[in-house]
């Protein structure tokens, strides 16, 4: 994905109209970089660097979801891969099924995608995020490594 610039007007509108949107991005990213794996630990380090710059990231609303591009300051430790997609997080936003994918490009956090089959809600009233098919499922790291790869070797 081509780098996007932050849209301060859009961020101001989101913060005023839909304050849970920022929290959804944070919670989804926290979950996607969690787990006992060296690759995930490096991504968690990158997220810790990017989190203070949350509103500097670019946000595109698509009507059925969003793309959020992280701003991860240098220097940072990268994972040895050109592309990795973590796609094991799902959930419900206002009762609608959502899918969340974290794209890693050139060894660093790049884009969080959130998508639903229906229209994305105007305002997030409530949300639940989980791994697997239903709330309460533990994260299956073996499955993640198998299907979101090729998984980098460290």
d(CA 133, CA 107): 28
Tokens representing 93 are: 């936003």
* Sign, CA torsion 48/54/60/64: positive
Higher pLDDT: 10 or 136? It is 136
User: Across all residues in the chain, what is the average pLDDT?
Assistant: 90
pLDDT at 129: 97
pLDDT at 1: 41
Tokens representing 126 are: 């409530």
Averaged pLDDT for residues 129-144: 90
Averaged pLDDT for residues 69-88: 95
C-alpha R_g of the chain: 15
96-105 and 83-93 strand pairing: antiparallel
Could you tell me which of 85, 100, 76 has the C-alpha nearest to residue 24?
A: 100
Q: pLDDT for 28-51, tens place per residue?
A: 999 999 999 999 999 999 999 999
pLDDT at 137: 86
* Sign, CA torsion 96/40/69/25: positive
| Residue whose token pair is 């299956």 | 140
| Residue whose token pair is 């940072």 | 76
> What is the pTM for the complete model shown?
0.90
| Residue whose token pair is 């968690």 | 44
């Amino acid at each position: 994905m081509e780098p996007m610039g932050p849209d301060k007007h859009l961020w101001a509108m989101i913060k005023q109209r839909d304050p849970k949107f920022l929290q959804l991005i944070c919670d989804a990213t926290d979950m996607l970089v969690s787990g006992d794996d060296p690759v995930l630990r490096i991504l968690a380090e990158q997220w810790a660097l990017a989190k203070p710059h949350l509103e500097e990231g670019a946000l595109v609303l698509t009507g059925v979801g969003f793309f959020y591009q992280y701003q991860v300051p240098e220097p940072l430790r990268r994972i040895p891969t050109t592309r990795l997609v973590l796609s094991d997080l799902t959930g419900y936003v206002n009762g609608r099924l959502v899918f969340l994918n974290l794209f890693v490009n050139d060894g660093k956090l790049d884009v969080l995608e959130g998508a639903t089959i229906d229209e994305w809600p105007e305002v997030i009233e409530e949300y639940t995020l989980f791994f697997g098919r239903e709330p309460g499922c533990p994260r299956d790291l073996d499955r993640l490594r198998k299907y979101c790869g090729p998984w980098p070797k460290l």
